[in-house]
Structure 1
């Protein structure tokens, strides 16, 4: 979009377009001349997700309004088919940028908190358990936040920061590249077991993990020491550990049975940076999972509509679920019933 067009649209819409247009996955559709666009539709998609969030949909009043809106709606639906996106959402937080009377052209029901949605084509989610999104409050507590969401699925809802930080203190590898460190699967499994659950750990490596996130030998030695102790304690606690090159597809069975899986991924494909990160897989259907991601990107103005019940194809998760050099993967499975 040109500066001329930004000057021609309302200030709030211009600000949102300027903030999001450079992000991979943003889609800006316009109708009419640059100096006086008749309509604008802005959608945002995480590159790894099969979901478009409609951020803005506005059309100037007049006799051509419905035709212009219908054209923009069809362009978005065509883009969804082309990019194999099968879920649309509109967030109540974006209400000021959405002409409510135009949402039905996309098949979207009236806005509701936190968002409204519609499934496209022949895809529809079978009845699913509600997994409330808990957004991590620090850059290093994705693992504890994922555990909190898992506990919510399995009958022990909790959304307090005190518990998030308490879990981190129990499961942390201590050190990171620029500050406190994240959590390995063994620390998370021990924390889950301490709260009455029966976790199972899958890992492809016997080496300490997350060493890529430290920049001194002292930090590296500390992480190796802590994780060695976590693994020993996991074995002593008789928590099952399977060390092999497992596939993400294997997680479908325990998830379909009503359990959840915490999966370690690299954020590069989603947010363009190599960072280890834990997410929650809580529903499986056909060739995709529904995922809760505790991280929402501030610059993309992400919220629950972007990170809660997010459909991601199994093949995409297979690519995401490798981290490090040499690459390794890890998961923590929690069955539906506490142990």
Structure 2
């Protein structure tokens, strides 16, 4: 960044006001106006000697994760914009983030300087609930040499477990998604085999994944002896789901699936993923979204001291796209808060190795 330029952090709303004063249309300013506080919005501005704004960068990032996404860049001077993006990257790394992503709307173009700064294209998703045409780029702020998996966003509120399992199955003989018209049938068909109506509990999901993969090893760890994910059910609604879970346990034993009842330590998850396994993780969404709810993600790689996950959920109403939930790094301390459910804080993890 040239010494003649000054970099300030600012509120997105104040930058929006300044851009509006320059005559930018409302649709160009809209992302700055709707930056939601729960997703760590930040605005960065580069100013010249006369205090005129030369470039501005809008970022956001899920809490309890180690990635920041550039949502918009405005510039009157490309060299100032390049320097400003570099400052954003340095700040992100200092705050513990290991990935800086850049989202470009359909029809938009990434500035030429982005490649010089180390941004590379992210793999296009198989499906992403209406955000497929958005393009994503990433600059890893620490060394990252893993294979990038495919991404598919769940099409219902309840198929996260099935989608996480099918993402993990990519590269197996059975395969996962294929970017075709039949993918939603694959998603719903897997969910029906794994479901405890509507949730996928760990043992039933492990049985369905085992049957899908065939020869690949599957192991499940659940530190709860009784039925799980039934906290809101009573009477018959609870009893028949509990009976289904007993049947899933029987099927797991018949198939030779290891069912552990100890509490898996996050360090074990990190170590096993680093060694090439996938880990399906039952999480509470609250640390990431501010709303409590059970959810499945799949961890597939280690970058720095983070685990990189695929999260099937895209919060479109909150301004998210697939770029937010694909290749999402999370620090172990945050994983320890995420990978637990209910007042009992039990932990459900499924390990597998494919390919």
Fold-level similarity (TM above 0.5): yes
The CA deviation at 1:314 is 1.9
The reply to whether residue 309 of structure 1 matches residue 332 of structure 2 is: no
The reply to whether residue 245 of structure 1 matches residue 269 of structure 2 is: no
The CA deviation at 1:186 is 1.1
The CA deviation at 1:189 is 1.2
**Deviations, residues 119-166 of structure 1 (Å, cap 9, x unaligned):** 22xx1112x233111111101000000111011143433321111111
For the residues of structure 2 that align with 1:110 and 1:335, how far apart are their CA atoms? 27
| Pair 316,282 (structure 1): closer, same or farther in 2 beyond 3 Å | same
Does structure 1 conserve the Cα–Cα contact (< 8 Å) formed by 2:38 and 2:289? no
- TM-score, scaled relative to structure 1: 0.85
**Over aligned residue pairs, what C-alpha RMSD do you find?**
2.7
For the residues of structure 2 that align with 1:109 and 1:165, how far apart are their CA atoms? 33
Does structure 2 conserve the Cα–Cα contact (< 8 Å) formed by 1:70 and 1:105? no
Report the count of equivalent residues. 321
Structure 2: which 5+ runs fail to align? 1-12, 125-134, 178-182
The CA deviation at 1:283 is 1.1
Does structure 1 conserve the Cα–Cα contact (< 8 Å) formed by 2:89 and 2:100? no
What's 1:27 paired with?
42
Does structure 2 conserve the Cα–Cα contact (< 8 Å) formed by 1:261 and 1:332? yes
What's 1:51 paired with?
67
The CA deviation at 1:39 is 2.9
For the residues of structure 1 that align with 2:295 and 2:336, how far apart are their CA atoms? 14
Structure 1: which 5+ runs fail to align? 175-180
The reply to whether residue 163 of structure 1 matches residue 186 of structure 2 is: yes
For the residues of structure 1 that align with 2:94 and 2:270, how far apart are their CA atoms? 26
What's 2:339 paired with?
321
Does structure 2 conserve the Cα–Cα contact (< 8 Å) formed by 1:91 and 1:111? no
Does structure 2 conserve the Cα–Cα contact (< 8 Å) formed by 1:25 and 1:44? yes
| Pair 215,184 (structure 1): closer, same or farther in 2 beyond 3 Å | closer
| Pair 149,313 (structure 1): closer, same or farther in 2 beyond 3 Å | same
For the residues of structure 2 that align with 1:70 and 1:5, how far apart are their CA atoms? 20
Q: Secondary structure in 1 aligned to 2:169?
A: helix
Find 1:81's aligned residue among 93, 102, 109. 93
Q: Secondary structure in 2 aligned to 1:152?
A: coil
For the residues of structure 1 that align with 2:247 and 2:277, how far apart are their CA atoms? 27
